[in-house]
């Protein structure tokens, strides 16, 4: 797990860039962690709430396929083979939707179809403020680090 810098922690909690209502002096570590890791509110624009999921599973990909797209005679053997390869890879450990090359491959397989739109919906989920600020959720060690940095700054 990557270490979050003192400056990033101080910016998040002291400046509160997403207006979540951080009050570090009044809140316990548990309250700050909970607020940092909670899913972002619907009052924020969608692009400010969505993060890539860590994994998408084979069964989710298969469920997104629209029958008429799958049955289309416009699919080439290469596209069908590539889709099978994606499903096999996803069945082992899932696929990482943050991979641009993988997203491009899936787009090349399905083109501008309802199936591609449904698959693209699988890529993201509502994230937390911590995930936007730090790329991961906050833990108690991070809050300890923040409290020490704040004390040293006084």
Share of the chain above pLDDT 90, in %: 23
Expressed as residue numbers, the domain containing 133 is 6-44+128-153
Q: Is residue 117 included in any domain, yes or no?
A: yes
Residues 90 and 25 in one domain: no
Task: Give me the phi and psi of 22, to 5 degrees please.
Answer: -65, 135
Residues 146 and 119 in one domain: no
Is residue 13 predicted with pLDDT exceeding 80? Answer: yes
* Reported pTM: 0.61
Question: How many domains is the chain partitioned into structurally?
Answer: 2
**What Rg do the C-alpha atoms of the chain give, in angstroms?**
20
Q: How far apart are CA 36 and CA 140, in angstroms?
A: 11
Reduce the DSSP state of residue 66 to 3 states and report it: coil
Q: How far apart are CA 118 and CA 56, in angstroms?
A: 13
What pLDDT, on a 0 to 100 scale, did the predictor assign at position 1? 59
Q: How far apart are CA 149 and CA 10, in angstroms?
A: 8
Residues 59 and 120 in one domain: yes
pLDDT, tens only, 72-120: 767 788 988 999 999 998 898 888 888 999 999 999 999 899 999 999 9
What pLDDT, on a 0 to 100 scale, did the predictor assign at position 107? 94
Q: How far apart are CA 150 and CA 29, in angstroms?
A: 13
Question: To 5 degrees, how large is the angle CA 7–CA 36–CA 119?
Answer: 110
- What are the tokens at 150? 């704040």
Residues 121 and 132 in one domain: no
Task: Report which of residues 114 and 135 the model is more confident about.
Answer: 114
SS (H, E, C) 83-110: HHHHHHHHHHHCECCCCHHHHHHHHHHH
Q: How far apart are CA 144 and CA 142, in angstroms?
A: 5
Is residue 68 predicted with pLDDT exceeding 90? Answer: no
What pLDDT, on a 0 to 100 scale, did the predictor assign at position 43? 62
Residues 78 and 95 in one domain: yes
Question: pLDDT tier at 131 (50, 70, 90 boundaries)?
Answer: confident
Residues 25 and 62 in one domain: no
């Amino acid at each position: 797990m990557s270490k979050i810098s003192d400056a990033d922690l101080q910016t998040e909690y002291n400046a509160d860039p997403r207006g979540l209502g951080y009050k570090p002096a009044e809140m316990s570590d548990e309250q700050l962690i909970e607020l940092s890791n909670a899913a972002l509110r619907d009052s924020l624009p969608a692009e400010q709430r969505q993060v890539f999921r860590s994994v998408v599973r084979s069964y989710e990909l298969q469920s997104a396929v629209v029958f008429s797209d799958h049955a289309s005679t416009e699919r080439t053997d290469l596209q069908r083979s590539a889709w099978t390869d994606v499903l096999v890879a996803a069945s082992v450990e899932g696929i990482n939707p943050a991979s641009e090359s993988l997203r491009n491959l899936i787009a090349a397989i399905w083109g501008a179809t309802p199936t591609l739109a449904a698959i693209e919906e699988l890529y993201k989920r509502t994230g937390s403020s911590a995930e936007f600020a730090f790329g991961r959720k906050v833990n108690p060690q991070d809050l300890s680090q923040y409290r020490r940095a704040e004390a040293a700054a006084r």
